[in-house]
Amino acid sequence: MTDIKSLYDRICSDNLTKDPKNFIHIYEEHKNLIEARITSDYALSLSQYGSSRKSIPYLDKFIQLFKNSSLTDLKEVQMFENVSLGERR
């Protein structure tokens, strides 16, 4: 499984965003990862800011993005560890 930093570096360093077709393909291939990262960071920020109640729907959305993933796949997703520990990285 690709991590978000590697994906970002790949898109930016290879100038893949210059060709809209390439960008669309990369986004669609990694949509869950991108959405999960943004959603988890937002939920954790809400929680750390003192709005734990507001963070719950976003944590639920984060969980739903990976509901069909195997335990082996989830162990490779750093975001799951961050969310379970309540940390943003």
Question: Coil, strand, or helix at residue 67?
Answer: coil
The pLDDT score that the predictor gives to residue 52 is 85
Structure tokens at 74: 């989830």
Q: Are residues 58 and 46 in contact, defined by beta-carbon separation less than 8 angstroms?
A: yes
The pLDDT score that the predictor gives to residue 57 is 92
Q: What is the pLDDT of residues 13-28, one digit of tens each?
A: 766 667 788 888 888 9
> How much is the CA Rg of the chain, to the nearest whole Å?
14
Residue 88 scores a pLDDT above 80: no
Long-range contacts of 10-17 (CB under 8 A, 24+ apart): none
Q: What is the pLDDT of residues 29-75, one digit of tens each?
A: 888 888 888 888 898 899 888 888 998 998 888 888 777 777 676 66
**52-65 and 31-49 are packed helices; what angle lies between their axes, rounded to 10 degrees?**
160
